[in-house]
Every structure is written in structure tokens, then in C-alpha cells.
A and B are shown apart, each in its own frame.
Chain A
Amino acid sequence: MEKKIRVLVAKPGLDGHDRGAKIVARALRDAGMEVVYTGLHQTAQQIVNTAMQEDVDVVGLSLLSGAHMTLFVDVAILLKEKQMDDVLLVGGGIIPQEDVPRLKKAGIAEVFGPGTPVEEIVSYIKKNVKR
């Protein structure tokens, strides 16, 4: 059987809005990927543990609350700590443009803002998945 790309779509922190995450999850499903959705209010520890047990190739974080500089970075640090650097980490949501370079420096490979066509996310993942 050919390898399927497995993606964890996660909602870190105190943010109850997951319409965007669900739209992305659905699009990735339709692109033939196996998408594990965590549900709301996840800690960085929960997200990284889940990523490990599910052995995902990609973690996609969605956040609209403004706490991305803390929560996205926490996930990146924990992934590195657990030597899970081969997991492609991406983020999306309401992320001001000026924060993007710092997020990328911290290990978030790409950031997708509002209005990004889902096809762009699909093709980015297909092109950049590391394993």
C-alpha cells in the first residue's frame, strides 16, 4: 500500500473557533490524507504527544486568539526536544505579517493567513513533507 500522508490538525490554547481548522481538515481529507483532529483547547504537550502516538508527518496548528507567539513556539520547542524534527510544522489563523519571520525562525515552516486557498496548503504539504 502506498504511504499516506498523516496530518495532525490541532487547536492550541484558549480559542473556541475551529471552523477554519475543520475546513482545512476536510480539504486535506479530500486530498487523500489521513487527518487526525484533536479538538479544542490543547496544550503544547498534548499536541506533541498526540503527534508522536499518531506518528504524523505534519502538524498544522490553528489559532485565532493572538497567542501564537507563545503557543506555536512551545509546540516547535517540544517537537525539537523530542527529536521529532522530521515532522513538518505549519500554522494558520490570524497571524500578523510581522510575526511570521519570527515564527519561521522558531521552526514553523510556513504560516497560512486568512483567505489562503486550501489548494495552496495541500500542495505545500505534498511538496514539503519530510518523510
Chain B
Amino acid sequence: MTQLAEKVIAGDHRSIARLITQVENDAPDAVETMKQIHPHTGQASVIGVTGVMGSGKSSLIFELALVYRVEGKKVGIIAIDPTSPFSGGALLGDRIRMTELSTDEGVFIRSMGTRGMMGGLTSALYDVVEILDAAGMNIILIETVGVGQDEVDIVKIADTTLVVLIPGLGDSVQTIKAGLMEIADIFVVNKADKPGVEQTVAELQSMLDLVNNLDRRIPIVATSAKEKKGIDQLTARIAEHQAYLKDTQMFEQRRRQRYEAELLEIIRKRLMDFIFDEKKLKTTVDCCIDQIAKKELDPYSAADQILGKILK
């Protein structure tokens, strides 16, 4: 086993941080370590927190983390913010709401940029979840970027997905639109200290009333991270959902879904690396062009040959 893998499994914060950097940068060294830590994963509960920008996701995660710490659980937090498509830079500001956790040895927080990934996540996220899991975190909280209606990839990775809404975002038709509203395991109406919270909760309730064949009605929790209200109800609903997953075999199903998404992501990345490694691609293509020109090969068979090599 690599020394880094050993230290990550022992929970050493600096090693966790280093390995995360390696996977973010697609460093070749990381692959061996990732292979070695995989057998040590699978224990952590993964909770996704998504919602529009400014809905209070970071503050809510901070409050949740405090509750889990009181219960003696180790908490890993991954906070994603957008990478600029123009400069490639990012301003990662979610930690501002979590300052008090930064000296707690039982908490590890990492801020990540999306680095060109759509869907509200970042491509290294699967790896980072594995790393925090192997490092012994009992709870992993993932904060997506502030999303619109359509960034729903968090469901591929989380056991439990919280959709955070705030009062005053629109009328009841918004609640029956596709996308974000379909992925919640729990709806959170945050900023319940602001006016309009009853109406938002009522609109969500009537949206849920439209469907009556669910074996589990999605709970709605009104919270105020600012006034520390509703947090205990929220953690209770999360615990109920996790028990529900285990009772219905949906837990295995969700984990399988995550591994499938992770595997597809690795394959996607490797294919993209090959396709965008222009030198390598050009060398491969060049070999066939002479043959095509001499009519020894047609372009379709050449493409089959090249793709056959990649997909072997």
C-alpha cells in the first residue's frame, strides 16, 4: 500500500488534502492510491445539499455538522462553487459560513471549483467522496453550486438529497416543474425567519398532493439556519430517510447508481483525455491517412480500427 493511502485511511488531514489535490489535477500517482483505498469505503452516509444560490446551503450545512459533531460523528464537507468558464479561476467562499468548524479535528472541509463540469458538481467529486469515506468520516455533506432548475447530478452520488428552497421564489406552478423539484428526498424551506414561509410550504404540500401513489411522502422542513430553528427536525427527517433506504433495499440501489456514475465518469474522462490529447490522436490518425489515400483502406474501416484500439 502507498504511504499516502495508509495515512488517508488513518484519517490524517494533510494526507487527505494532498490526495484530493492529486485527484483534482488528474495526477497519475493518484490512481494507485485510489485503487488501494476503495476497499475501505462504504461506511459514510452521503448527504447532498442543493438549491438556488443564496438559499443558505452553507449555513445549513454548518448547523447540520454541529448536530452530527455533538453525536460524536466525524464529518466531511465538500463545498462546490463555480469555476469561471472565462478565466478558469474560482472564488470559493462557502467556508465563510463554517469558520467555527475549521479547528475541529473531527471535521474536514474542502472547497472545490466545478472546473468545467456541468450539473452542479465537479468531476473529481466521486473520488473525493471515496477519500473522505476511507478516511473514516461518518457523514459526508456535499454542497452543490447554487443551482437553477436543471442541475440535478447530485442524486447520482448522494444517499439523501436535500433540496433547499426559500420563500418568495415563484408561484405554485414552479413547484410542479421538472428537474430540481423531482430530486428531493427532503424539501427544506430555509430562511423561515423571512415572510412567506407558510405559503411556500403550502405550495410544496399541494404539489405533493397531486401525486398519491408514493410509498413515501417527501417531508418538508422549515428551517432558519440564522436562528438555529428546525435543525433537529431536519436531522430527524434525514435519519428517517436513511432508515427507509435500508428497509426498502433502495440503499443498495442508490450505491450501485453511484458506482455506475463514477465508473462512467472515469471512462468519460479517459476518452476525453485521449480525444483531446491532440498529439496522440494525430499520430494515430496519421497512420491511416496514407492508406486511405492509396485506397488500401476506407475512412469508415479506419475509424473502426482506431476506435477499436481505444475501446479495447
A: which residues have CB within 8 A of B? 1-4, 6, 25-26, 28-39, 41-43, 45-46, 49-50, 52-55, 82
In the assembled complex, 22 residue pairs joining A and B whose CB atoms fall closer than 8 Å, in A order, are A1-B24, A4-B88, A4-B89, A29-B90, A30-B89, A31-B87, A31-B89, A32-B87, A33-B89, A34-B89, A34-B90, A34-B113, A36-B92, A38-B95, A39-B96, A43-B103, A45-B103, A46-B103, A50-B95, A50-B109, A53-B110, A54-B92
The closest CB in chain A to the CB of B77 belongs to A53
User: Is the Cβ of B89 less than 8 Å from the Cβ of A37?
Assistant: no
CB within 8 Å of A: which B1-50 residues: 13-14, 16-18, 20-21, 24-26
CB–CB A52/B92 < 8 A = no
Q: State A91–B182 Cα separation when bound (angstroms).
A: 47
Q: Which chain A residue has the least Cβ–Cβ distance from B107?
A: A53
In the complex the two chains form, is A46's CB within 8 Å of B102's CB?
yes
Docked-complex contact A3 and B103, CB < 8 angstroms: no
Q: Which 8 A-B pairs have the closest CB atoms?
A: A39-B96, A29-B89, A55-B17, A32-B88, A55-B21, A36-B92, A46-B102, A32-B89
A37→B79 CA distance, assembly (Å)? 13
Highest count of chain B CB atoms <10 Å: which of A25, A34, A35, A39: A34
* B102–A1 touching, CB < 8 Å: no
Smallest Cβ-Cβ distance to A42: which chain B residue: B99
Compute how far the CA of A49 lies from the CA of B103 in the bound complex, rounded to whole angstroms: 6
Chain B residue numbers with a CB within 8 Å of A26 are 91
**B14, A29: Cβ atoms under 8 Å?**
no
User: Among A29, A39, A42, which residue has its beta carbon within 8 angstroms of that of B87?
Assistant: A29
Question: Which residues from chain B contact A41 at a C-beta distance below 8 Å?
Answer: 99
Identity of the chain B residue whose Cβ is nearest the Cβ of A46 in the assembled complex: B102
Given contacts A45-B103, A54-B110, are A35 and B17 in contact (CB under 8 A)? no
Which residues does chain B contribute within 8 Å of A30, judged by CB atoms?
Answer: 84, 87, 89
Distance to closest chain A CB from B295 (angstroms): 41
Interface size class of B (residues with CB under 8 A): 20 to 34
- Which residues of B sit under 8 angstroms from A53, Cβ to Cβ? 13, 16-17, 102, 108-110
User: At the interface, yes or no: B111 with Cβ under 8 Å from chain A?
Assistant: yes
Chain B residues at the A interface, C-beta cutoff of 8 Å: 13-14, 16-18, 20-21, 24-26, 83-84, 87-93, 95-97, 99, 102-103, 108-111, 113, 115
Instruction: Identify which of B17, B91, B97, B115 gathers the most chain A CB atoms within 10 Å of its CB.
Output: B91
Closest B-chain residue to A55, C-beta based? B17
> What B residues does A32 contact at CB under 8 A?
87-89
In the complex, A32 Cα to B113 Cα: how many Å?
A: 11
Give A93 to B93 CA distance when docked, in angstroms: 21
The smallest C-beta distance from A21 to any residue of chain B, in angstroms, reads 11
Distance in angstroms from B190 CB to nearest chain A CB is 19
Write out the residue numbers on chain B whose beta carbons fall within 8 Å of the beta carbon of A49. 13, 102-103
One of A4, A33, A39, A54 near B111 (C-beta < 8 A): A54
A3 to B, closest residue via Cβ = B25
Further pairs besides A1-B26, A30-B89, A45-B103: 14, Cβ < 8 Å: A4-B25, A4-B113, A4-B115, A30-B84, A30-B87, A35-B90, A35-B91, A37-B96, A38-B95, A39-B95, A43-B103, A52-B17, A53-B13, A53-B102
Contacts of B20 in A (CB 8 A): 55
